[in-house]
Chains A and B, each alone.
Chain A
Amino acid sequence: MATVAAVIASTHHPFYYRASTSTGSDRPPFADAWVEKIEAFRETLTRAEPDVLVMVGSDHFHQLWLDNMPQFLVGKAPFYDANFYNEEREFGLPRMFLPGHEDLSAYLLRQGLDAGFDLAFSNELRIDHSITCPLITLRPQADLPIVPIYTNIFAPPLPQPGRFVELGRTIRRLVESWPSDQRVAIIGTGHLSLELGGPRQFGPHGPDPEFDRKAVEWIASGDLDSALAEVSLESLWRPGNATHGFMDFMLMMGAAGDNAKADYADSLDLFHTMEAYFTWYPKPDPPSKARAS
């Protein structure tokens, strides 16, 4: 059976690419510290020696639209083009081209349907920054095949938070039952408190530092009980009007496991958001390390 080499959850900040590649007077004062954090975070994936990446994100009204909106969707394609004109325009993100892993996509779709998730699928999916940002931070060479999974955190009515957690648990279980010798990293990105298009946007910190502090603690300690007790579709409006992206973190907590303490946890207080980075190793020793010992 396949091995879950790592479970990784983080925020996805679309300005990282531009901040990290800018030079001279264009380079923001926080760029060097941010790059240092990201490079340490990247190492947590590299040392897991993955073969395949399951990538959980959320389309930001790029390809998926309100005339036909899936709640949970799995990409099943041999390749994925990535990033859109308006992401180049606003964030300076590059166009990318990513290999897919159709066998694992097909397995997750079939088994997911049979496990009670009526997953939508796409055979021609263009990927947006919710998945390219973590590739840029964690695997910039973008050389590994991916299985993209999109969640709806954007267009109400949304699935309940508990459903995200359950999908995360299901993805973990299915990857572990996949008849393959591949090492799979499950990576997902969301947000802590976030306001977009509202009066609290783009402040000196995230719109709700207290929510961020609690959320980081829940994630780092795998405290799903507290997260589920305090978070609802209604409550998530309070920390900021785009905070429903926190449900992708809850999905990843489900994938990491109840009360699973993160093996790596870091955060960075930036203007406008708290950035946060977490890695769990279900099987601590990657093959090369196991061979060496």
Chain B
Amino acid sequence: MSKYLLNKFLYTVDRDPELVERYRADPRGTVDWWESERANVILNCPTPEQSTWLKFTDAERDALASHDYVTLFELGAHNFLVLTLFIALFERDYAEPLGFQLEFARRLSHWSLPYPDIST
């Protein structure tokens, strides 16, 4: 279980306009590229000093590659990161204000407290 790495994917994609569009258009290709090229980059270190051990579980990779925010919630990805990035990805597809945000809530409506643990 690598909640940290799920969050790192969401964080690094969300802050990069080109990656947001790439992830929307080609989620599986973007996740595969990111895991092989970016997952082990320490954000404040030069590339040669990267980590060597970070990888997704199959369930995590599949959730990201299928834009499955319900499963990301259930895996304990950080709620703020999931929401922010998925608004960027899908709000544009809804005509009504907050349409996507309300659909997001509805798809999680089978959940009550306690929610999955987000601590890393």
Contact = CB atoms under 8 A, between A and B. Distances in A.
Interface of A: 60-62, 65-68, 84-86, 89-90, 154-157, 196-203, 237-238, 241-242, 271
B41 to A, nearest CB: 10
Given A67-B43, A237-B113, A89 B88 contact: yes
A286 B106 CA distance: 51
Q: Which of A202, A203, A238 has the most CB of B within 10 A?
A: A202
B101 A201 contact: yes
B73 A237 contact: no
Interface stretch (B30-38, B57-65, B78-86): B78-86
A203 B76 CA distance: 22
B115 A241 contact: yes
A196 B80 contact: yes
Contacts of B105: 198-203
B78 A237 contact: no
Chain B interface SS verdict (over half): helix
A66 B42 CA distance: 11
Interface string B67-78: 000000100001
29 contacts: A61-B78, A61-B81, A68-B44, A85-B15, A86-B14, A86-B15, A89-B88, A90-B88, A196-B80, A197-B73, A197-B79, A197-B82, A198-B79, A198-B105, A198-B111, A199-B108, A199-B109, A199-B112, A201-B104, A202-B98, A202-B101, A203-B105, A237-B114, A237-B115, A238-B113, A241-B79, A242-B79, A242-B80, A271-B98
B14 A196 contact: no
A271 B98 CA distance: 11
Contacts of A61: 11, 78, 80-81
A157 B118 CA distance: 10
